[in-house]
């Protein structure tokens, strides 16, 4: 079974070589696709140099437009389907997601359709985040679960494994949200399609290098995007 880890990047030169090395050092074999949004810091150039070291398993796609995390992942999902991958993972470049948890997500997905690396399925497992951001993230997931009824504790999680059948049937062309809203929309559409979603407890660690991509627009989109998803569901448009 072919497994692909999609890592979206924008100005991740401090982290990209280390995260690639960490994934390829695992006993379980994964391919990596770096989807870079034309980082001005040279992230893509670092990946290109590493392709000489990992010629079969490291892939790079450079997008000319920076238009959100969701669009980068959708680009990666289509690439994965075109290249015959059976399981596809979302993972951040900054080590907030521990590569050692990838095999756990994969094994969980074998018995489901989609597995989520969850910060909140067993308490709150977040390291080095300011308390304000922990509370924002935690209660955002509670809000989403209340409004949409998704049986997932960590609805904004970005550490996810999808089986191929989910990506083929979820309606990738209909996904509209981009930031945290994108993560919510993917889970909600999978849930509404009847796919089984399981949560795998993880410890989320705040990035040590590079800058966070969080901003107010992402939060605004997530809050109002959830209401729009609920409205679409009522109108039978999902």
Structural domain harbouring 122: 3-234
At 107-136, the pLDDT tens digits run 999 999 999 999 988 867 777 767 777 778
Full-model pTM: 0.90
Counted domains in the chain: 1
Give the pLDDT confidence of 28-70 residue by residue, as tens digits: 999 999 999 999 999 999 999 999 999 999 999 999 988 889 9
Query: Between β-strands 87-90 and 31-36, what pairing exists: parallel, antiparallel or unpaired?
Result: unpaired
For residue 161, give every residue at least 6 positions away whose Cβ sits within 8 Å of its Cβ, in sequence order, or none: 87, 88, 89, 105, 106, 108, 109, 114, 115
* DSSP reduced 3-state for 50: helix
Mean pLDDT of 84-95: 97
CATH number where 187 lies: 3.90.550.10
């Amino acid at each position: 079974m072919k497994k692909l880890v999609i890592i979206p990047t924008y100005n991740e030169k401090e982290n990209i070589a280390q995260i690639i090395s960490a994934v390829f050092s695992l006993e379980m074999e994964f391919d990596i696709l770096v989807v870079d949004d034309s980082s001005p810091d040279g992230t893509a150039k670092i990946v290109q140099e590493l392709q000489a070291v990992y010629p079969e398993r490291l892939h790079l796609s450079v997008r000319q437009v920076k238009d959100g995390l969701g669009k980068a992942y959708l680009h990666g999902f289509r690439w994965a389907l075109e290249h015959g991958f059976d399981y596809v993972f979302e993972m951040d470049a900054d080590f907030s997601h521990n590569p050692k948890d990838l095999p756990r997500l994969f094994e969980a997905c074998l018995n489901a359709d989609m597995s989520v690396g969850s910060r909140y399925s067993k308490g709150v497992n977040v390291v080095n985040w300011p308390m304000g951001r922990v509370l924002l993230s935690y209660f955002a997931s509670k809000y989403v679960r209340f409004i949409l009824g998704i049986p997932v504790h960590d609805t904004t999680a970005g550490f996810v494994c999808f089986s191929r059948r989910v990506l083929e049937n979820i309606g990738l062309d209909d996904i509209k949200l981009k930031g945290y809203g994108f993560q919510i929309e993917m889970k909600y559409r999978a849930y509404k399609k009847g796919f089984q979603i399981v949560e795998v407890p993880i410890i989320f660690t705040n990035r040590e290098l590079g800058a966070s991509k969080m901003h107010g627009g992402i939060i605004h989109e997530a809050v109002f995007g959830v209401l729009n998803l609920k409205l679409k569901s009522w109108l039978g448009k999902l």
